[in-house]
Structure formats: structure tokens, C-alpha cells
Amino acid sequence: MNKSSIAPRSAQPGPRLPITERLGPQDLMMLWPDDLGWPEVIGALAILDGTGLLDRDGRFRVEAVREVIGSRLPQVPRFRQLLYTPRWGLGWPLWVDARFFDLTEHVRVRPFAAPPDEERLLRTVEDVRALPLSRSRPLWEVWFLPGLADDRVAMFIKVHHTIADGPAGVTLLGTFCDLSADAPTTPARPWTPVPMPSSRNLFEDNLRRRVQAAEGALSKLRRPATTLHQARERWPEVRENYLKGRAPRTSFNIPIGQHRRLAVIRSNLDAAKQIAHHHDAKLNDVLMSATAGGLRELLRSRGELVEDLVLRAFVPVSLHQEEPGRARGNQGGLMFVPLPIGEPDPIRRLRLIAEASARQKKYVVGAPEGILGRNRVLQRAMTRGLARQRWANVYVANIFGPPMPLYLAGARITEIFPVVPLIGNFTLAVAALSYAEQLNITVVADANACPDVDVFAQGVRDSLQALSSSQHLLA
């Protein structure tokens, strides 16, 4: 349910960020999984019309693309910054300018071998996704994968989740794109890194933040009635999401491994909107209903009972307050939505999900605050607990992208598919991105726990087709 649109590059670079900009509580929650072998990397697979990106010999003109990307870097300070973790007593991790920056380490080319089909492409994308992002460099990479038929070129951009969530990631992509093929390229400006703050600066900054936190805690103690009222207001959210029932045990909720399998599903945005309109639902409800249909087919293919089964979907909710296309960092909430897997009728299933989703929107849980938001030990413990969590069975995200076609270095982007990370015991995740009248869905699955991800993907396609057919019958 993330809501964000994209803004192409601005004529003026954004302001330099403060040298003591620390990671916030949500950013830190994206950092700890790395230590457990669950790299928090978000990405996007784009397909480009590469006619103008290939030379006469069919080689990819990577320098032309690097020139465009390099010229836009002033608008994305994070892309030339390192994640620095100071020693004990100097506070939380923060962003600092890299002393040296080499664009060739971040914009790379990897042709993939024949046959140039989608299966081979997705395996190659997984290969580059699995390559770790080194903490000694800014935490992002763009891989160009030439070799598709008809002079098409695939591009996979990967960014650490501490830098951006889904809506912010769409904005990052838009920074390097244009609305036309003939947009001029501005030469890259000279860049001078800001020196790293001294230990004294970090100590003073950490002390100031701790004093402010203590003052905030004391303020709450001085106003017990107000604090109690705020706690009571938040209680329904906590009760509904964390204390009201548990997610059923399933064969695909086991601790994840290191390897992934990807599947993509193409659908029409206008058709999905019409389905939602005809059944008094939202676009996100259509996505979750199709996901429920895919899960139903997956479990039935494994010989598992689905009658009366209701699973729970973890649904992120964007809380970005920036104007559209300017989202930055991690600013998200969440809600849990029941998925009636046991309901065989796709129309009935959609309506049940729409009713439940409308009800759950009243109980969206925001960013971690208070002790959980400030305490590293509690955050790490909560992250470790995800390997055994029973709050949800599957992750489902819907990201709103640009309604118009985008161009990179003069090449039209014909398709974009989002790629989300897996964590804990979520061995299956679904993410959709709307782009230029398309609704493109990517399934990310643990390769060992879900080798049959194609069964799930086909179930999603069949559910979308059934809903589309029912809409025409009702028209």
C-alpha cells in the first residue's frame, strides 16, 4: 500500500546533508538483518530499448550511461556516502562522505549467456542481487545486462534498505531518468567530500541526543494523564496487529536461506483498476486477492488442506509526508490483512479481503518509538525473533510508480519490476509496481523452501484472469 509517484531530475541539486545525520529507528531496523545473513537490499529490474545504447558491434556503451548517472549524483548525496559505525559511546551509525568515489565500481556491465530468455535473465539478476554490497563503498549498484533479443538491455539497480524504502527507491530511480529521449545531459560537477566528523563532534552530538531523549522521557513522566491517554490511543493498533490471533503454520514459513528464485507477472493497470472499481475495492485489494489465489494453488499442489484456511499478509503502508516524488529514507507503517485461502470463488475472496483491508486501515502501526526506537539491544532481539515470528505468513507490497514512460540516457524504459528482500521466516514475498499503464508483479522466494514458485506465480496469473473475466460478465 505504499503511495508514491516519481519526479524526474530537478535542475538544481539537493542540499548537502548534515555530517551528523544518524540512522533513524526504522533505518536501523534495516541494518541488523545483515548480521543474520538476511541482506536488506531492495532493487528494481528494468527493461530498456537498447537500440541507442549499443555500438555497431553490439557492445553496450557503458560510458554514455555513466556520464548521465554521474551528472545526477549531486541530487542523491547518499550515493557518495558511506555507512559509518562509530565506536561505543559515540552514538548510532551515521552517513559520511566517502573520501574517494569511483563510479565504475557502481555502474557495471554483465552480459548474460544464451539463450536470451526470461528464465536466464532472472537467474542472472539473482546472481548480481546476491553479491554483497561492501560497507567500504556507498551501498548501491547498477548492473546493465545486455543480451536480450531485439536489442533490449536489462538493468538491475540495487540499494541497501537503510538508504530507501519502496517509495523512496522509486524516487531515486527517477533522479537518473528523463521524460523524453532527447533530454540534455548536464556535465558532472566537481565533487569535494565533506570531512568526517571528529570523535569529539560525535561524542557531543550523541550526548545532545541522549539529553533530548531523557528530557522527552521526563516530560512524559510529568504528564502522566497525557502519556496514559496516548498509550490508550495506541493500544487498539497493538492489540489488533500483534495480540489478536496468530498466523497459521505453513510449509513456507521456515527460516530463510541465502538463495532466491524470482518470477515475474505482467498485468494491465487499467484492467486491475476496473476490477477494483466493479467490486468496490482498492487496487491493493486486487493484488492481495491474486496473492491469496496463488497461495491457494501452491498449498494444494503440495497436498496441503486449504479449506477454511485464513493466512495473514504483512502489508507495508507508506507514511511519507514529502510531496510526491520527493520521498527519502524509510518512513513506513504496517498492517496485517487476513487472506481467505479457503474461499474458492475469486470474487467472494476479493470482497472479503476488501472488507478486511478497509477495517485494518484503522489500525496501521507506525514507526518504532520510545524504548524500542532507541534501544539497539531490543531492536536486535526483535530482528532475531523474526525467524520464529507468527504475526504473518507472506509479505505483500504495492508501490505506486510513474504513470508516464521514463528514459535513461535516451533509452526508453519499457518495463520495471520491483525486487524486495526476504527476512526471518518469510520465504515468499510479493511486490507490485505500477508503471506507464502496467502493473508488474515480482515474486521473490527462498530457493530451497519454495522451489515451486512458478506454481504460485501461475496461480496469481489465473486469479487475475478470473477476476478480469468476471468483471466482463458483470459489465
Per-residue HEC secondary structure of 182-242 comes to CCCCCCCCCCCCCCCCCHHHHHHHHHHHHHHHHHHHHHHHHCHHHHHHHHHHHHHHHHHHH
Dihedral, CA atoms, 300, 306, 310, 311, nearest 10 degrees?
A: -30
* Degrees, nearest 5: CA angle 456-354-271: 65
Beta strands in 76-188 (DSSP E): 81-84, 94-97, 107-109, 140-146, 152-160
% of the chain beyond a pLDDT of 70 = 87
pLDDT number for residue 190: 86
* Degrees, nearest 5: CA angle 420-126-424: 45
**C-alpha pair distances (Å), 123 with each of 54, 264, 433:** 23, 12, 21
| Amino acid letter, 145 | L
Contact of 430 with 287, CB cutoff 8 Å = yes
Helix (H, G, I), strand (E, B) or coil at 130: helix
Question: Cell for 6?
Answer: 516519481
Question: Cell for 292?
Answer: 491469496
Q: Is the dihedral of CA 262, 142, 416, 26 positive or negative?
A: positive
pLDDT number for residue 437: 95
Q: Which of 61-75, 160-174, 204-218 has the lowest mean pLDDT?
A: 204-218
**Averaged confidence pLDDT in the chain:** 87
Question: Cell for 438?
Answer: 502496467
* Degrees, nearest 5: CA angle 110-114-118: 80
Please report, for the chain, how many H helices and E strands are present, in that order: 12, 14
Per-residue pLDDT for 166 more than 80? yes
Of 156, 109, 153, nearest in space to 129 by CA: 156
**Whole-angstrom distance, CA of residue 370 vs CA of residue 379:** 12
% of the chain beyond a pLDDT of 90 = 63
pLDDT number for residue 469: 86
* Degrees, nearest 5: CA angle 4-5-11: 125
Give, as one character, the DSSP assignment of residue 322: S
pLDDT number for residue 6: 46
Domain 1-475 of CATH type 3.30.559.30: yes
* Domain residue spans of the chain: 1-475
pLDDT in tens, 343-361: 999 999 999 999 999 998 8
Q: What are phi and psi of 414, to 5 degrees?
A: -90, -30
Q: Confirm whether pTM is higher than 0.85.
A: yes
Mean pLDDT of 169-175: 91
Mean pLDDT of 195-215: 88
Q: Which of 115-119, 392-396, 469-473 has the lowest mean pLDDT?
A: 469-473
Residue with cell 548492473: 143
Dihedral, CA atoms, 127, 129, 131, 135, nearest 10 degrees?
A: 170
pLDDT number for residue 234: 63
Question: Cell for 62?
Answer: 557503458
pLDDT in tens, 412-430: 999 999 999 999 999 999 9
Give, as one character, the DSSP assignment of residue 37: T
Strand order in the sheet with 428-435: 260-268, 438-446, 428-435, 394-400, 310-318, 332-340
**Whole-angstrom distance, CA of residue 82 vs CA of residue 74:** 15
pLDDT in tens, 366-390: 765 544 556 667 777 777 888 888 8
Residue with more model confidence, 320 or 198: 198
